[in-house]
Structure 1
Amino acid sequence: MDPILVATSVGKRFPGVVALSEVDLALAAGEVHALVGENGAGKSTLIKILTGVYQPDDGTLTYRGEPATFASPMAAQQAGIATVYQEVNLVPLRSVASNLFLGREPRNRLGLLDFRAMNRQARELLSSYGVDVDVTRPLRTLGMGVQQMVAVARAAATQTRVVILDEPTSSLEPREVDTLFGIIERLRSDGVAVLYVSHRLDELYRICDRVTVLRDGRLVHSGLLAELPRLRLVATMLGRDLEEVRRDGATKFEGEHTADEKPVLTATGLTSKHRLDDVSVTVRPGEIVGLGGLLGAGRSETAMAIAGALPLDGGEVFVAGRRMRTGSVAVAMRAGVVMLPEDRKADGILPDLSVRENIVLAALPRLSRTGLVSRKRQDAIVDTFMKRLRIKASSPDQRVGDLSGGNQQKVLLARLLCTQPKVLLLDEPTRGIDVGAKAEVQGLVDELAAEGLGVVLISSEFDEVVEGSDAIVVLREGRVVTTLRGADVNEAALLDALVDET
């Protein structure tokens, strides 16, 4: 198969960050090529270079045998490179037909839009792909799955030589996934090169011919997918030595929590369309339960559902034996459930406020008397937690945005602990902080658990989950596949659970 689009030694740098370094990628005609890697691996940056959003700082692009430079996404589209993103980027208020032919609408002899012809061609196009829908309806009135199928059909209908599909099945029902794969097979037979980005291993092995694996902005593997076993693929993505993992397998054994010990958190049957499917988690006082899984497995969604930040279609949450109403962060906090978010800058700290203001923010309702908050009581709490968590700041009045990442994380922890919680949900608590600060945060989590707090831990670093957890609930595609306890809490068992084809 001849290559259509080739990236050679591509590199991209941002201030203080090397996003890509010497990455190669070759997409061949009639091939479905998987692009995989965890968060921060460089997948999105590479796609943006291929589609003209970014210009590479190093390396070259070759398209259809000629050196290529795409000055904008429009230039890439006009050249025949179409991209379908996870979030549908069409025009919701316009009709399905208008979206399908946006920018290339059929016109009559007078140069006016021929709506009758456009609607007829839209029906024929969607019907050929197995999609039955009223093409005159506004796109926003349709479900997300149908909208995604319209976006894919639009990309496939143009004079496209390369189609990039970024997590295309995230909003699709199983029947719609089958329809999508039918479209992909048709593209393959037409000689179109398809770049397929997904975290779902079953899909990759079902539809893809070759695979490129990125890790930390670098190419770590490229070759035939059929020659790469699932366990080896996962180990390659994570940067783990498979033989070492096997050799060091069952090395951890923590004291077990007795079965009759009353759970501080019981979440059962958590279900949210396209996100969670009957997920259950149990945490006892003083226990750290890790949520294991690859990107998109449903780890963050599970924590958000327990914390009231994700609407649920079904399921119950009990805190210390009492049923908690789901879907409300305020209710969850009053019940004693708090969550440290994955992105502390976007969802956590208020960078322009002081350390004091950030810490006491969640505790203000408890500290107020007739609407007034005593500065003395605030200072006492702030002083207590700054000492306990060893927060390094010139004073409580220092702007929190000026602190290091590790100290910002501690400030967020202090804010949550001010509420005197029963359950602490930690989503990537050590991401983006240095090694020393990471060890301090991990030590704090252990101390909190030792004091009887129930902890749910999420981390993309498998060794952190294994070393820090008493039990691990393993998730895949929004479902629980197993729970590891005691001597089974090791990397070998975790990797086995993630790729188990049964």
Structure 2
Amino acid sequence: MSLAASSSDVVLSARNVAKSYGNVHALKGVNFDVHKGKVTTLFGENGAGKSTLMKILSGVVKPTSGEIVLEGEPVTFSSSTDARDRGGISIIHQELSLAPNLSVRDNIFMGREIVGPAGGVDFAEEERITRLLMEELEEDIDPLTPVEDLRLGQQQIVEIARALSVKSRILIMDEPTSALSATEVEVLFKVIGDLKSRGVSIVYISHHLEEALEITDHAVVLRDGTMTAYAPRSDIDLEWIVRNMVGDNYDLGSPPTGYDFGKVALSIEGLSVPDAARPDRSVVDNVSLAVRAGEIVCIYGLMGAGRTEMMETVAGRLRPSAGRVLLEGDDLSGLSIAQRIARGLVLVPEDRQRDGLVQTMSVGENLSLASIGSFTRGLFTSKRRERGIISDAIRNVHIKTDGGGAPIGSLSGGNQQKVVIGKMLATDPRVVLLDEPSRGIDIGAKSEVFKLLAEGARKGLAVVYSTSEVGECLAVAHRIIVMHRGRISAEFGADATKEEIMAASGEAVTH
């Protein structure tokens, strides 16, 4: 698994790198090179060893055996800060690490403040540099805007800007596009191209395989801690990656058939939602939609199209300025989130870490949280009933865990997402809404999530999921609704093409 490349352009190497945690072998003798001005992409399912390898390269953890070689010299880093300052290696994590109450400027320079001539922080210079970074990323974000006021995709842009601000020679990107729209991904890839032309090397990790192939120069594939393949871009394709990742065929599935839809389960009538930053404008503008029992509907649109705001309003998290939501004919206006859950309407939110899980709770506690009313009466709790809910949920949504008592943080991203889905399905809903259900999970877990949606629909569940990935629209949806600038711009059946869907969303289609 060696590449015929000049050793003079190798800036970082892993040599027989292994990492064990007790009897668990997270990595087993991994060897590969990172080349100057090139993108080396790490492919693999959750649990394959990508995160462990990333932590070793960035100085977060030390290998059990083997070594990291930086520009020809073996090196050991004491921390990620040491790797950044001494090795020129920076990392952008999948889960955001921003301080929400601080401004964009303050987040970018946190811990690296620019000192002015008088000895104080030179805020003006920090603001100037922040504006330049935003221009480079083609993002119109004011440096003084609090991060908590930004959408998830914009926050990811700030993470990228922070990493770029230290002028790293090697940049590790862990799922940097997981919350970005197609337009923002295009911007990021232009930035990556510019970084490459300046000699910056990039280690790129992504579950979006086709997307990652657009920028990959060399590919490393991991499975169960072992490197199964290593090759230049000219020698690989999507089938090669999937075969080396999972060892068998991969398919998101198809819309479930063989049954008739039931009566209308969810009705959205003339729904409008004001923009929090500009109350005179609407982020959702006069949207109407009906979904029947057993039907799977996909809501597609770019970031800012209004998908998330519509889902959150239907679930009761946002208040509409006009319109109403009906569940099997009953008006839900004025009902709280909890009351809507009790009626049978649930939401799996976009950001599972922030909105879907309680990180201090166990797997079981998270699973039973939304169903607490079914096993408590006043001060009395039926532990037997709670254990039944937990065990049923673990079995029904195929969660890989040591048991209900395991910490939620011990699970992979895909299994954490299944906990959120399992928690909501445990409430016995009639309508389930899912906002970006496959965000940040690997292809195997993604396939399992879509199979769960299909299984639910066959049992009469009305399913509405939103996504910014065209391929996911064509996976299991019976009907595809496209949103653009807060409105429904088109509706398609399951036989729609990617080009039709993208064009209706206002997204440029290139051939």
Q: TM-score, normalised by structure 2?
A: 0.59
The within-5 A match list for 1:335-346 is 335-337=343-345
Partner Cα separation in structure 2 for residue 149 and residue 220 of structure 1: 32
Whether the 8 Å CA contact 2:133–2:161 is kept in 1: the answer is yes
The within-5 A match list for 1:416-435 is 421-422=429-430
Partner Cα separation in structure 1 for residue 387 and residue 137 of structure 2: 63
Closer, same or farther in 2 for the Cα pair 1:255/1:141, shift >3 Å?
closer
Matched, 1:482 2:474: yes
Matched, 1:70 2:77: yes
Closer, same or farther in 2 for the Cα pair 1:15/1:153, shift >3 Å?
same
The within-5 A match list for 1:50-449 is 50-77=57-84, 78-86=86-94, 87-89=96-98, 93=102, 96=105, 99-100=108-109, 102-103=111-112, 105=114, 107-108=116-117, 112-113=119-120, 115=122, 118-119=125-126, 122=129, 125-126=132-133, 129=136, 137=144, 140=147, 143=150, 148-172=156-180, 176-201=184-209, 203-234=211-242, 236-241=244-249, 255-257=258-260, 261-264=262-265, 287=294, 308=315, 318-322=326-330, 324=332, 328-337=336-345, 347=358, 361-363=372-374, 382=385, 401=405, 421-422=429-430
- Equivalent position of 1:32 in the other structure: 39
Deviations 1:201-230 (A, max 9, x none): 454233332222333433333323454333
Whether the 8 Å CA contact 1:11–1:22 is kept in 2: the answer is yes
> Which residue type is aligned with residue 162 of structure 1?
I
SS at match of 2:214: helix
Deviations 1:32-85 (A, max 9, x none): 222333433333222211111111223321111111111111110132001223
- Equivalent position of 2:442 in the other structure: none
Partner Cα separation in structure 1 for residue 91 and residue 456 of structure 2: 40
Task: Give the deviation of 1:317 after TM superposition.
Answer: 6.2
Task: Give the deviation of 1:90 after TM superposition.
Answer: 6.4
Match of 1:45 among 52, 70, 74: 52
Whether the 8 Å CA contact 1:267–1:282 is kept in 2: the answer is yes
Partner Cα separation in structure 1 for residue 206 and residue 174 of structure 2: 7
Partner Cα separation in structure 1 for residue 383 and residue 106 of structure 2: 63
Partner Cα separation in structure 2 for residue 339 and residue 45 of structure 1: 32
Whether the 8 Å CA contact 1:270–1:280 is kept in 2: the answer is no
- Equivalent position of 2:14 in the other structure: 7
Note the residue ranges of structure 1 that are not aligned, 5 or more in a row.
Answer: 292-300, 393-398, 406-410, 428-457, 487-492
Closer, same or farther in 2 for the Cα pair 1:155/1:254, shift >3 Å?
closer
> Which residue type is aligned with residue 32 of structure 1?
V
Moved more, 73-82 or 145-154: 145-154
Partner Cα separation in structure 2 for residue 24 and residue 313 of structure 1: 55
Closer, same or farther in 2 for the Cα pair 1:26/1:337, shift >3 Å?
same
SS at match of 2:474: strand
Closer, same or farther in 2 for the Cα pair 1:116/1:71, shift >3 Å?
closer
Closer, same or farther in 2 for the Cα pair 1:465/1:321, shift >3 Å?
same
Partner Cα separation in structure 2 for residue 191 and residue 282 of structure 1: 52
Closer, same or farther in 2 for the Cα pair 1:284/1:172, shift >3 Å?
closer
Closer, same or farther in 2 for the Cα pair 1:417/1:116, shift >3 Å?
closer
> Which residue type is aligned with residue 255 of structure 1?
G
Task: Give the deviation of 1:31 after TM superposition.
Answer: 0.3
Task: Give the deviation of 1:189 after TM superposition.
Answer: 1.1
- Equivalent position of 2:486 in the other structure: none
Q: TM-score, normalised by structure 1?
A: 0.60
Whether the 8 Å CA contact 2:108–2:130 is kept in 1: the answer is no
Moved more, 3-12 or 186-195: 3-12
Whether the 8 Å CA contact 2:34–2:40 is kept in 1: the answer is yes
Partner Cα separation in structure 2 for residue 310 and residue 205 of structure 1: 37
Partner Cα separation in structure 2 for residue 184 and residue 312 of structure 1: 39
The within-5 A match list for 1:462-473 is 468=455
Whether the 8 Å CA contact 1:83–1:155 is kept in 2: the answer is yes
SS at match of 2:15: strand
- Equivalent position of 1:453 in the other structure: none
SS at match of 1:188: helix
Task: Give the deviation of 1:331 after TM superposition.
Answer: 2.8
Whether the 8 Å CA contact 1:90–1:99 is kept in 2: the answer is no
Partner Cα separation in structure 1 for residue 266 and residue 164 of structure 2: 48
Partner Cα separation in structure 2 for residue 147 and residue 413 of structure 1: 25
Task: Give the deviation of 1:21 after TM superposition.
Answer: 3.0
Partner Cα separation in structure 2 for residue 139 and residue 66 of structure 1: 42
Partner Cα separation in structure 1 for residue 16 and residue 268 of structure 2: 47
Deviations 1:178-220 (A, max 9, x none): 4433332221111110122333345423333222233343333
Structure (1 or 2) with the larger CA radius of gyration:
1
> Which residue type is aligned with residue 108 of structure 2?
N
Closer, same or farther in 2 for the Cα pair 1:146/1:384, shift >3 Å?
closer
> Which residue type is aligned with residue 163 of structure 2?
A
Whether the 8 Å CA contact 1:317–1:326 is kept in 2: the answer is no
Deviations 1:103-137 (A, max 9, x none): 363554xx725738835862684377265879873
Q: CA RMSD in A?
A: 6.3
Closer, same or farther in 2 for the Cα pair 1:51/1:141, shift >3 Å?
same
Closer, same or farther in 2 for the Cα pair 1:254/1:233, shift >3 Å?
same
Whether the 8 Å CA contact 2:434–2:464 is kept in 1: the answer is no
Partner Cα separation in structure 1 for residue 20 and residue 297 of structure 2: 34
